[in-house]
Amino acid sequence: MLKVVAASLMMFGAFSTAGHGQGSDRSVDVEFAAGTTGTVISDRLVGREVVLYHLGAEAGQVLDLSLQSSNAATYFNVYAPGSGPGDAALAVSSLTSDSVPDLNQFSATLPVSGDYTVMVYLYRAAARRDGVAEYTLDISITGKPQGIVQNDYADGLMGGPDFWAVVANGGLNLRTGPSQSANKVAVLHSDDVVRNLGCRMAEAQRWCQVQTVTEPKLTGWVAGRFLAEAAEPAR
């Protein structure tokens, strides 16, 4: 497995997104099964359609991607957290490089923590002909993270919000650890406000450690996509 140091990986910013059709975007949030480090996605795109896969990972972990398609004109781009189509890509799978040892193969050590985006598309000529691609995307995230997740994923002392509001109408499980397999402590309800104790990436998604603000105060982990920044509750 080829691993790339952060300084080398950032050089891929010179790559552009040129070569794919300008069509509608379809977004997919990737989640791994409880306790696993990867998944295989089977999907389909037609013509100018673009599929955006979002997956969370931490600095120091290794992201591996492999694309197999019925249409040889199918490729993917990889974007760092905070960027996407229209921005410079970390890597383009149609161009071999240190992190792309072969077409549609990617492997690199990630330099920053956050939500990465993998864009799958048909090359422009095939997209214009309304080509069809039946494909599988093999994704794995392995290795231990380095340090603390910062920016939007940190606790209040590191720049993130001090409190979250739950935005899950059907209830949100509070668990003993950052995994779907961890034991359930309680169920939080929509609009409940909780204290933010910091977030991590696991199973390709963001997990946040929180503490309830009402008695009895419970501490546990919840899926971060069901949280929104909130003000401190009135005392």
Place of tokens 């949100």: 172
**Structure tokens that stand for 194 in this block:** 């909780």
Local confidence pLDDT in tens for the 235 residues of the chain: 333 333 333 334 444 444 565 567 899 999 999 989 999 999 999 999 999 999 999 988 999 999 999 999 999 999 999 999 999 999 999 999 999 999 999 999 998 888 999 999 999 999 999 999 999 999 999 997 665 554 444 444 445 689 999 999 889 999 999 998 999 999 999 999 999 998 888 888 889 999 999 888 999 999 998 999 999 887 7
| Spatial contact of 194 and 188, defined as CB atoms under 8 Å apart | yes
* Bridge pairing between strands 50-57 and 25-29: parallel
- Cross-strand bridge partners of residue 223: 207
| Spatial contact of 109 and 5, defined as CB atoms under 8 Å apart | yes
pLDDT of residue 134: 98
pLDDT of residue 11: 37
The domains located in the chain, with CATH, are: 6-142 (2.60.120.380), 151-230 (2.30.30.40)
pLDDT of residue 219: 95
Residue 85 to residue 27: CA distance in whole angstroms = 12
